[in-house]
Amino acid sequence: MSQFRPVTAGLLAALAMGLWARPGNAMDASSEPRTALGIHFQLPGSGFSNDGGMALGGLSVSLRFARFLEVESGVTAMGDVRGAGNATFIRVGIAPNLLLPRSDNQWSVRFPLLMGYTYLPLQTANGEPNTTFHAVTATAGLDTTRWSAGGIGLNVRLLAYAGVENKTITGLLDRLAGQSAMQATVGLALSLGFGASL
What does the pLDDT read at residue 172? 56
Which helix or strand (DSSP H or E) is residue 23 part of?
Answer: none
What does the pLDDT read at residue 113? 98
SS3 letters across 55-97: EEEEEEEEEEECCCEEEEEEEEEEEECCEEEEEEEEEEEECCE
Give tens-digit pLDDT for 9-59: 443 444 334 333 333 333 344 668 889 999 999 999 999 998 888 999 999
Write down how long the chain is.
198
Q: pLDDT band at 105, cuts 50/70/90?
A: confident
**CATH code that applies to domain 31-197:** 2.40.160.20
What does the pLDDT read at residue 120? 93
Task: Let me know: does 130 contact 170? Beta carbons within 8 Å.
Answer: yes
* pTM of the entire predicted model: 0.78
Amino acid at 39: I
Q: Give residue limits of the domains in the chain.
A: 1-30, 31-197
What does the pLDDT read at residue 64? 96
Longest dimension (CA), the chain: 91
